[in-house]
Chain A
């Protein structure tokens, strides 16, 4: 029994890192996803300069999302941690410690996924909502934040919940660059004690976190049910 108590106290240290990575990713990737989704659903301006700029930004964003969704997250983590310092000229400025490197890869990767979820939500807002906003004299900013976003969020929430629970479990990937998050700590315990029941304890931790997330998202969904 005292075994388990000592495991749990070690695992809690791992949990702290898991939660930190999870929180940092969530806090930065959701705004990133929002911005990217706005860019991808923006209308092409009419003047020439605007059109050129629009096409460039559109191209960069589409390329970014293609790469982020088209390659393994593990590879992206390796790339940020090991690869970026070798980039010519700017490489020396792109040398990250383990945690920031993992966080950067996670934020970019999840930003891309959230962007696509939000884009789906934005596309399903009826165009009559934009027209009503316009004839009532709302500016495009007011329309975006007061009218479109709340409706987009309702549509996107179930997918965001799904993606966020995947994020929680994906945090285990940073083990690959030597960060001791929950699963890494657990593996160490198993290796040391040759007792695999530590895995069961880890599973309980993940389940508790997932359950908390599920409850939070259910609350949010109720709040956005109109």
Chain B
């Protein structure tokens, strides 16, 4: 069984058909890079997987449970249960500005009664260490650099021990010299066997880290395969034109 199964997904914003017919299976441990021109629906697709967008038709099945089947969603409670194992990292970090880093990390697991407070705090410490920010436990988000904020955001997503992590252009809001530290964190996560979907314009990073590359355009998945197939030995002219442009 695939960890994520998407079948005939369709999504419009009013008259604008953004996702026309998307089907894809993602296996446990896959690192999927999603490439494509601006406006091709990459974010919309990723956001559909975690219920930030409601799709119009099709199925999304996560770890064997239907988040949506034939365009019909289950109850809020059911959805919440299915999505418990999916985390997301945003382009603009979306840290909670009124909470210090420790509280940013601990809030969700505390509210979900995931563990005792002591254990959650220990986990926060450990997770921050993993992203190289153990000295930032008690500072406010406003004092961090962009790269540090994004690493905290990744740590926050990991606190709920997700099986799947979605990244929507995690380095696009960063100065070029700060992207490296964030990509390194993601690279390390990839080695740990997490399932990850990463929308990115960093083609080099995608071909290095991903085992599966998806190219989206005009609301369809135009190509899917290994980095060798989709990036290095691409014969389709339009895809090559795009790859050359972002490189």
Residues on A lying within 8 angstroms of B by beta carbon are: 126, 128-129, 131-132, 134-138, 142, 146-147, 150-151, 154, 224, 226
Contact = CB atoms under 8 A, between A and B. Distances in A.
A74 B50 CA distance: 52
Contacts of B83: 135, 137
18 contacts: A131-B90, A132-B90, A132-B94, A132-B96, A134-B52, A135-B86, A135-B157, A136-B87, A136-B160, A137-B83, A137-B84, A137-B108, A137-B111, A137-B112, A138-B107, A142-B111, A146-B107, A147-B96
A131 B94 contact: yes
A136 B108 CA distance: 6
A135 B98 contact: no
Interface in B148-179: 156-157, 160
Interface of B: 50-52, 80, 83-84, 86-88, 90, 92, 94-98, 107-108, 111-112, 140, 142, 156-157, 160
Contact of B98 (A128, A138, A150): A150
A83 to B, nearest CB: 44
B52 A131 contact: yes
B98 A154 contact: yes
Give the interface SS of chain B, mostly helix, strand, loop or mixed. loop
A136 B140 contact: no
B94 A126 contact: yes
Contacts of B140: 226
B117 to A, nearest CB: 16
A226 to B, nearest CB: 5
Given A135-B52, A146-B107, A226-B142, 8 more contacts: A128-B90, A129-B94, A131-B52, A136-B87, A138-B108, A151-B97, A151-B98, A224-B98
Nearest to B91: A128
Contacts of A226: 97-98, 140, 142
Contact of A136 (B92, B142, B156): B156
B70 to A, nearest CB: 17
Nearest to A128: B94
Nearest to A131: B52
A134 B87 CA distance: 10
A126 B95 CA distance: 11
A132 to B, nearest CB: 4
Contacts of B95: 132
Contacts of A135: 50, 52, 83, 86-88, 157
Nearest to B90: A128
A155 to B, nearest CB: 11
Contacts of A142: 111
Most chain B beta-carbon neighbours within 10 Å: one of A128, A136, A224: A136
Contacts of A129: 94, 96
A147 B97 CA distance: 9
A94 B109 CA distance: 50
Contacts of B160: 136-137
